[in-house]
Chains A and B, each alone.
Chain A
Amino acid sequence: QIEEKIQESLMKQLNLNDIPVLEKTDVEKLVIPDHVRTKYISLLKRSSEETFSRGK
């Protein structure tokens, strides 16, 4: 159920009709740019703060 929810939500957010198929060789040399990593970390922090404060 969670798997389905993740899949559905991802497709919606990325405006995709089908699940992307990427080969290992396509992403092997891919470098995540700093700005993407920074955004991800800040969202991750916010999410864990939420988890902590709500968990209280």
Chain B
Amino acid sequence: RHTQATAEIMGNFFSDASSQLLVFSMNDRLSPTGELAQAVLRLFQKPCPKEVIKRQSKMFPFNSHASVTIYWVQTREDGINRTYVIDSRRVSIHETGWISFDVTQAVSYWQQQNKTDQPLVLEVSVHRENIGPMASNAHKFISFSSQNPADGELHAPQLQLHTLDTKEYGAQGNCIPNMPLTKITRCCRSETYINLQNLKWAENWILDPPGFKTYTCVGSCQQLKKEHLNFKWPFSMQRKCFAAKSAHLPLIVAVKDGDSIVTKVVTLYNMKVLECGCASVGMPIMKKLKP
């Protein structure tokens, strides 16, 4: 609306999505030493009546699909709920049975809130796949078993949490002081000071800071063994010691600008390592919850 270069385009809301809320009590389901590897939401898709399928196939021969989107619902202190898209997939009216969604990011968001007494709330929304004259009505006939006891416990939505014990598979925090790096076996953070004034290449142009404290991640991690896992590990079995949390490093530098010399502020992102951790190669990094 306020961009001069772009003409205003009027639109209408066109939504006839159906949605249901799922509430999962998380009490004692995730131990403080449990590293979340994967969270799976399993929904049971109820069969669609045959006569509906026939009618739909006649009316919309090329599209019998709808979109199912999973949202994480954040209950905020100001009373305004905020939703975050977690996973989405196409579903056909011809299908029936269990469908899985990856809700790891939702559980990670829930963990970041640090409110373990609050349940995990997910919203399942079934909506039209496309909008337009050829759009099918398939979304109206796709439904999942709810948490309502009337739907039966057998097909109730399930939340599967796969975790690893960080006591065994995680990093150990700070390294033992004064231990030679060659003797460190388990992943840990080793404090170090980078003295920028001592670096020959940085001479006369990195003006501030003179140096900074950081950590390096050293050592190795306990490797996964298939026989010790009671679920299918979705990532590589190889676990590595890496920088799990880091901070930015601002610098004042002097650079030549034509014939003169000017000073500039540069931010080096993720330069100061704060925490080390163990993770499987290929494991996605969870997004941070915005304030």
Contacts and interface: CB of A to CB of B under 8 A. Distances in A.
B210 to A, nearest CB: 13
Interface string A20-53: 1111101100101100110110011011101100
Query: Size class of A's contact patch?
Result: 35 or more
Contacts of A27: 204-205, 207, 254, 261
B263 A5 contact: no
Contacts of A13: 266-268
A49 to B, nearest CB: 9
A44 B266 CA distance: 11
A32 B209 CA distance: 13
Given A50-B247, A54-B245, A10 B253 contact: yes
A38 B199 CA distance: 26
B286 interface: no
A2 B194 contact: yes
Nearest to A3: B199
Tell me the dominant secondary structure on chain B's binding face: strand
B161 to A, nearest CB: 25
B89 interface: no
A55 B274 contact: yes
B265 interface: yes
A30 B261 contact: yes
B95 interface: no
A33 B207 CA distance: 13
Nearest to B206: A10
B271 interface: yes
A28 to B, nearest CB: 9
B108 to A, nearest CB: 16
In the A-B complex, the 7 residue pairs with the closest CB atoms: A43-B250, A22-B204, A50-B247, A9-B268, A39-B265, A40-B265, A51-B247
Given A27-B261, A47-B250, 7 more contacts: A1-B216, A6-B268, A22-B205, A26-B204, A27-B254, A37-B252, A39-B265
20 contacts: A3-B194, A6-B194, A6-B202, A6-B271, A10-B206, A10-B253, A14-B264, A20-B205, A21-B204, A22-B254, A26-B261, A27-B205, A27-B207, A27-B254, A32-B252, A36-B252, A39-B265, A48-B247, A51-B274, A55-B275
Interface of B: 192, 194, 196, 199, 201-209, 214, 216, 245, 247-256, 261, 263-269, 271-272, 274-275
